[in-house]
Amino acid sequence: MEPLILISLVLLTGAAVGWSIGANDAANSLGAAVGSKVLTLRQAIFLIVVFGFLGAFLQGAHVTKTIGKGIVPMDQLDKNLALYVAVVASFAACVWVILATHWKMPISTSHSIVGAVAGAGLGVHAAIKWSVLRDIFVCWIFTPLGAAVLGYLFFRLLQNSLYRVIPRRYLRPVITALIVLSGCYVAFTWGANDVANAVGVISGSGVMSAKTSVVFGGLAIILGIVTWGYKVIETVGTEITRLMPIMALSAQLASAANVHMYTLFGIPVSTSHSIVGAIVGVGMVRGIRVLNFRIVKEMVICWLATPFISGLISYITLCAIKLFIKI
């Protein structure tokens, strides 16, 4: 296949992944705020667009390098081979994320692209950096657990301090403002961490520089937010547990702090895991009975299946291509 066609396919599939990320993961930022009735769906989408793009532009390069070169050293592969890996990995990740979005399940696009890159790497017999994959998997385990603990602690702290420090007549507007600000922080960290899922392979294959690719991915994510992002926002905001405003504030602070820490170390973690873990953590303050364990169980099953399904799709697709095209 001609290099120009391959490059076009890399950009097209990368944009599709960015769109699917915006559609599925927009809920991670302000779904809690919508669920607690602090923001309308339209207001939340606007804020997610603005701050998600800022996060992608300002700090998106950290994780982009890990996705593009840290799992499979795409910069060391033959140029055409790297392009095939990029196309197939993006295609596989996008297919699974779109299916999950259709089912209104907030899965991890980070899990999806990491599994897809590894599967494509196996398909071309590339040297997989298993130590990096191991470290990423360990971080995936601790992401929801850490967010749940932080959510519980933040709720306890805010519950005990806000009611004592702020006069009652000012309490609601102050909490509302803090929820909006913390949600914007979540959107920023989401953009910084998740844009790599769309453009890491674009940067790693040498089609674009890291900085240019995050702008490209940020725009694709924006398109996904405004066209389909409302579906999973409804799930995260209303179906896990019934959120009071102070619970939404605690969950968003916990999720943002959790994801931002991993982003600075260049580790692609799941913002879906983080916000859902944080919501579960604050829900536990009111007692285990308030949690909708049916929806939580379905999410966990999807999370566990995601890297393996996307990796399998990627591997099978690349093997099928090799039957007809010499790579």
User: Tokens 């779109």 label which residue?
Assistant: 98
Residue 20: the pLDDT is 81
Summarised one tens digit per residue, pLDDT across range 239-277 is: 555 567 888 889 889 999 999 999 999 999 988 788 878
Domain housing 156: 3-324
Integer Cα distance of 4 and 43 in angstroms: 40
Q: Retrieve residue 261's tokens.
A: 């820490």
Integer Cα distance of 281 and 299 in angstroms: 16
In degrees and rounded to multiples of 5, residue 153 shows phi and psi of -65, -45
CB 86 within 8 A of CB 204: yes
Integer Cα distance of 35 and 39 in angstroms: 8
Summarised one tens digit per residue, pLDDT across range 94-150 is: 888 778 777 766 678 888 999 999 999 999 999 899 999 999 999 988 998 999 999
Percent of the chain with pLDDT over 70: 88
Mean pLDDT of the region 7-17: 92
Integer Cα distance of 229 and 234 in angstroms: 9
More confident residue, 173 or 289: 173
Handedness of CA 289, 295, 298, 303 (dihedral sign): negative
Q: How many domains does the chain have?
A: 1
CB 119 within 8 A of CB 93: no
More confident residue, 171 or 51: 51
Integer Cα distance of 235 and 128 in angstroms: 36
CB 98 within 8 A of CB 20: yes
Centroid of chain to Cα 75: 24
Sorted by sequence, the CB contacts under 8 Å of residue 326 that are 6+ apart come out as none
| Out of 7-11, 184-188, 221-225, least confident range | 221-225
Integer Cα distance of 98 and 79 in angstroms: 29
Is 164 a residue whose pLDDT tops 90? no
Centroid of chain to Cα 100: 13
Is 237 a residue whose pLDDT tops 60? no
**Closest CA relative to residue 269, chosen from 14, 23, 25, 49:** 25
Length of the chain equals: 327
CB 189 within 8 A of CB 263: yes
Residue 311: the pLDDT is 95
Residue 200: the pLDDT is 93
- Count of beta carbons in the 10 Å neighbourhood of residue 127: 10
Query: Residue 37: which pLDDT band, with cuts at 50, 70 and 90?
Result: confident
